[in-house]
Structure 1
């Protein structure tokens, strides 16, 4: 038990230390920035922590070889079917999946409790995550750069935690889920207009298979 707590603490510390820096927003640079976010959130949280994966694998099982791609194909299809028309984007990145959830759909301004009308959407997400349990999840909160930096960091963490707690309440195993608030640190577009800022206010659920 103590070892599991230590592993979770180590995971959280590594996520806080993950970072990237970019001031250019050409298509190439934007793609690299998004890749860095994915790497920081999903790679640091899962691929580089064998002990963490072993703990979860022991609890829910693991995948091997060709089974990984097929498993994620089926999960991707199930998520797209369940979330069709919801506003949530299902994005495939190799053998990993990312759910991009616009914050304005999920939360009131300056609040971290999930809008009640979004419960059915998160119920659908949880339904698929329960069925495909051989995966690790990182819930990442993001904001725009409006307002005090620390306030945005806290808000993004609180929103990520709210999503985690809701998924747990829907019987997704807590051991599979980590959270991180990134505040304004990883914009996907420049914060130069309200349209762009709305895109940067988001919650992402990164889904990675647990492999042997």
Structure 2
């Protein structure tokens, strides 16, 4: 993974930025062009803050490692984590994929396995899936975790925004309750602003109701850069 890129993001606004570079696919070893776009707040950018990290990567890495030295964060085995997550969630409707040119993992938790309609209470059957995801996050601790909530267009935009935030927060809180460090996790609700499919047919609408967990790895070089930027 490329380590020279510094990502910045804000809960209130995200500036538009496009970066092109070659990266290595961790599963195939193939070199390919990565084009990452950060969209403005409320813009229709699929898959959360593509290429970005809620609140900015540097400060969050400092929070995640605390005063620890940079050593011990080498060799993030992202391809192994993807394989394990796919095996652990097989048959559940959960989708695990690479995003950001192979620099992050996106775990898509679709409607029907997450929450009841209009609710932000985690469904009992969904807890087992989240436990599996949590186990993976704990096994691979050198990463930041963003949780995004999305809704369809049924109801008012205000209620949808609130529901997306509540669902994202519920998933984040559950992960923390199972032992994932709170310093690694942030959450954000997008409401109905980032639809996966056109709406109005009553068939594909549920695809827009989802929660996504984005896993952003960091390694020794990231830690060193973050510590240097903070004057440590």
TM-score tier by shorter-chain length is 0.7 to 0.9
1:189 aligns with 2:197: yes
| 1:84 counterpart SS class | coil
Distance 1:152 1:63 in 2: 39
Going from structure 1 to structure 2, the CA distance change for 1:39 and 1:159 (only over 3 Å counts) comes to closer
- 1:43 matched to which residue of 2? 52
Q: Which has the higher contact order (CA 8 A, sep 6+)?
A: 1
The Cα shift of 1:150 comes to 0.7
> TM-score by structure 1 length?
0.78
- 1:111 matched to which residue of 2? 119
Distance 1:122 1:197 in 2: 23
- 2:229 matched to which residue of 1? none
The Cα offsets for residues 154-186 of structure 1, whole Å up to 9 and x where unpaired, read as 000000111011111111111111000100000
Structure 2 gap segments, 5+ residues each: 1-7, 17-36, 223-232
Structure 1 gap segments, 5+ residues each: 1-9, 21-31
Number of residues of Structure 1 aligned to a counterpart in Structure 2: 186
| Structure with greater helix share of residues | 1
The Cα offsets for residues 131-167 of structure 1, whole Å up to 9 and x where unpaired, read as 0111111110000111111100000000011101111
1:138 aligns with 2:138: no
Going from structure 1 to structure 2, the CA distance change for 1:135 and 1:193 (only over 3 Å counts) comes to same
The Cα offsets for residues 11-41 of structure 1, whole Å up to 9 and x where unpaired, read as 6xx1332389xxxxxxxxxxx8999334626
The Cα RMSD (Å) is 2.7
- 1:168 matched to which residue of 2? 176
Select the structure of larger CA radius of gyration.
Answer: 2
The Cα offsets for residues 24-64 of structure 1, whole Å up to 9 and x where unpaired, read as xxxxxxxx899933462651427x43122222133786744
- 1:5 matched to which residue of 2? none
The Cα shift of 1:192 comes to 2.8
The Cα shift of 1:118 comes to 1.4
> TM-score by structure 2 length?
0.72
The Cα shift of 1:77 comes to 1.1
